[in-house]
Structure 1
Amino acid sequence: MRAAVVVGHGALDQIKYCEDIPVPEIIQNDVLIKVRATALNYHDIFTRRGMPGIKISFPIITGSDIAGEVAAIGPDAEGWTKGDRVLINPIFNDDRTVGLLGEITNGGKAEFVVARDYQLIKLDDRVSYEDAASLPLAYGTAHRMMITIGKVMKNETVLILGASGGVGVACVQLAKLAGAKVIACASTDEKIEKLKALGADHCINYKTQDVQKSVYEIMGKPRISGKGGVDIAVNFTGGNTWKSSVRCTKKGGRILTCGATAGFDVEMDLRYVWTFEHQILGSNGWMPEDLNALLSLIEKGDLKPVIDCILPLEKVMEAERRMEDREFFGKILVQP
């Protein structure tokens, strides 16, 4: 089969496009999936570059967000028929494997991939492979953080940092679906125009504007009286952005986080947390019910995942370069 294989830690040249990789074998409750679409995530890049404390066995095929059709079924697999259209929930949790598809086992940047029967979610005919593949790591993470844990409500104001990436765009869409007002932050005027088209009520170019000052101009400075500030600050960038997120949040407000792409060590004056009675809520990944809720929104026509581009598998290096250089808005997909 054709596949994009990562042969070691490093730059884009560690990705090798191959046309002679054996089709994986299936055992027990495995299901072989014919890949129809795979979405990229920053996790693919982190896996290639290396992550502290995580050992990767090379060579490996990355790609965790996968939709396709059932091609073959293991002897112990239940509930599936050849030809079924499915989305893979990429989390393994069984006696054989625990972890993420595309990190500890070969992923979806290939013609075929192996999943367990319990990882598959049936796709309604109203859901395209491309839309389904866009969901798990970005939209699933956003849904759990914003809706399941954060409980964003109608008429609340939500500040979203890094709003133009996969998770950020999903946060904007889900906040608007919940009836909230959105202040979205991005790095270019082009991305800001796209965020406005998605329904963002206010946008801040963090390259040319001070985020904290801009929020104060829009919402007022948070006061002990409860006036001013945003109801919710969504910050999955961390680093030097955390301090201002806390200071933009109103009394009794919530600060939501699901990651720290700009750094885990943050500066924070704890006096703001107790004085303004903030809630800091962490969210880790997603659950199957988050994916099912998102699929239901797509089926009803309420949600359309934002796809930046779809490239053929042989152009996977270009796809990852676009992601590394932040030349995208929404999800980047590859198709074998």
Structure 2
Amino acid sequence: MKAIVLREHGSNDKLVLETHFPDPVAAAGEVVIRVKASSLNYHDVFTRRGMPGIKLPFPVIIGLDVAGEIESVGADVTDWQPGDRVVVDPIDRINGGLVGETTHGGLAERCRVPVHQLVRIPDNVSYDEAAALPVAYGTALRMMSSVGQIQPGERVLILGASGGVGVCAVQLAKQAGAEVIACAGSATKAEQLRALGADHVILYTEQDFVKAIHEQFGKPARRRGAAKPGGVDVVVNFTGGDTWVRSLKCLRIGGRILTCGATAGFDPKEDLRYIWTFELQVRGSNGWEREDLHALLDLVARGELKVLIDRRWPLAEAAGALASIEDRQVIGKVLVTP
């Protein structure tokens, strides 16, 4: 089969299209999926580069998010059959491991997975929509709902709002009844974020977001009961790096900062004074739960959540697709189709 194969860490030239990679064969309790769509995530960039403490079983086919049609089933598989439309939960919650990292992922014509990782796709949800959901939208749902507990009337600042996690976070915050401030890098992205529900957009390429928050909503007061407390109630920050301390400066007393990643650096400078002075809460969110995927599919099926797809790339150009994410040239999700 055709597959994008990574045989060593490095830059995008290490992602090689191989035309005769061995076809997967379903063992007991497994199925082989004919891939219809795979969506890329910044995690795939980290996988290609290499991550401290994680050793890959080279060669590996990257691509965490996979949706497709079951082509064949292994022994003892009774609840699934060829032709079933499925999306894969990338996390193997029984044996451990992650699709596209410890086992072959979606950048191929076929993908083999255990049946306990399958989720059925509703009839009115497309393969493209389903493939876009697990990692980015699943992470956003858990972060904003279970961990973040966004409330009606709260003011929520979202950094990285134009990425896969960000566009879902914008929609979920708006659905929760919050006032949403999204950060974007261009006027085009700003327009699309407003269409998704953002009440305000800050172009961080033109204005420092801390200054913009203070000018528009006031500087956070250090004492409770202030007539104009200023700032925001929640900051969503999964970029890290030099945005971390600046995010703390936007939060009003008792505010909370939500993080689920660190695309710009995981060891930022810290300033503990803001945390104790404003009694801030730092809430971390790691991935998603299986029920989150079912909830997302239901939201999409009911038309209550939009899957924003930036572009569909052919399998042969998957390296370019990943580069577009790494260079922050996208809004929403990037799909690769065999």
Deviation at 1:103, TM superposition (A): 0.3
2-structure distance, mates of 1:27, 1:12: 32
1-structure distance, mates of 2:78, 2:151: 39
2-structure distance, mates of 1:218, 1:243: 19
Tell me which of 93, 97, 100 is aligned to 1:99.
97
Tell me which of 185, 193, 202 is aligned to 1:187.
185
Aligned residue type for 1:111: E
SS of the residue corresponding to residue 222 of structure 1 reads: coil
Deviation at 1:164, TM superposition (A): 0.9
1-structure distance, mates of 2:273, 2:11: 42
Report whether the alignment pairs 1:175 with 2:173.
yes
Tell me which of 239, 257, 260 is aligned to 2:259.
257
2-structure distance, mates of 1:183, 1:101: 34
Residue number in structure 1 paired with 2:292: 290
Aligned residue type for 1:246: L
Residue number in structure 2 paired with 1:317: 319
Contact 1:29 1:78 in 2 (8 A): no
Contact 1:164 1:191 in 2 (8 A): yes
SS of the residue corresponding to residue 122 of structure 2 reads: coil
Deviation at 1:324, TM superposition (A): 2.1
5 Å-filtered alignment, 1:1-336, equals: 1-94=1-94, 97-223=95-221, 224-225=223-224, 227-336=229-338
SS of the residue corresponding to residue 249 of structure 2 reads: helix
2-structure distance, mates of 1:148, 1:218: 29
Where does structure 1 differ by over 4 angstroms across 4 or more consecutive aligned residues?
A: none
With 71-80 and 177-186 compared, the bigger mean Cα shift is at: 71-80
Deviation at 1:79, TM superposition (A): 1.8
Deviation at 1:290, TM superposition (A): 1.0
2-structure distance, mates of 1:271, 1:45: 34
Contact 2:90 2:134 in 1 (8 A): yes
SS of the residue corresponding to residue 97 of structure 2 reads: strand
Deviation at 1:77, TM superposition (A): 2.9
Deviations 1:181-219 (A, max 9, x none): 111112222222221222211111112211111011122
Deviation at 1:281, TM superposition (A): 0.8
SS of the residue corresponding to residue 99 of structure 1 reads: coil
Deviations 1:125-151 (A, max 9, x none): 011000000001100000000011111
Q: CA RMSD in A?
A: 1.3
Aligned residue type for 1:162: G
Deviation at 1:225, TM superposition (A): 2.7
Aligned residue type for 1:307: I
Deviation at 1:313, TM superposition (A): 1.0
With 264-273 and 11-20 compared, the bigger mean Cα shift is at: 264-273
The percentage of aligned residue pairs carrying the same residue is: 54
Deviation at 1:157, TM superposition (A): 1.0
Alpha carbons of 1:78 and 1:157: their partners in 2 closer, same or farther (altered >3 Å)?
farther
SS of the residue corresponding to residue 57 of structure 2 reads: coil
Structure 1 gaps of 5+ residues are none
2-structure distance, mates of 1:321, 1:79: 39
Contact 2:42 2:263 in 1 (8 A): no
Deviation at 1:78, TM superposition (A): 4.2
Number of residue pairs the alignment of both structures matches: 334
Deviations 1:70-97 (A, max 9, x none): 1111113342122111110010133xx4
Deviation at 1:234, TM superposition (A): 0.5
Deviations 1:145-174 (A, max 9, x none): 001111112221110011111111111111
TM-score by length of 2: 0.95
Deviation at 1:317, TM superposition (A): 2.0
Structure 2 gaps of 5+ residues are none
Deviations 1:32-68 (A, max 9, x none): 1111100011111111111112112222110011111
Contact 2:9 2:49 in 1 (8 A): yes
Deviations 1:248-300 (A, max 9, x none): 11112111111111112222322322232222111000001111111111111
SS of the residue corresponding to residue 47 of structure 1 reads: helix
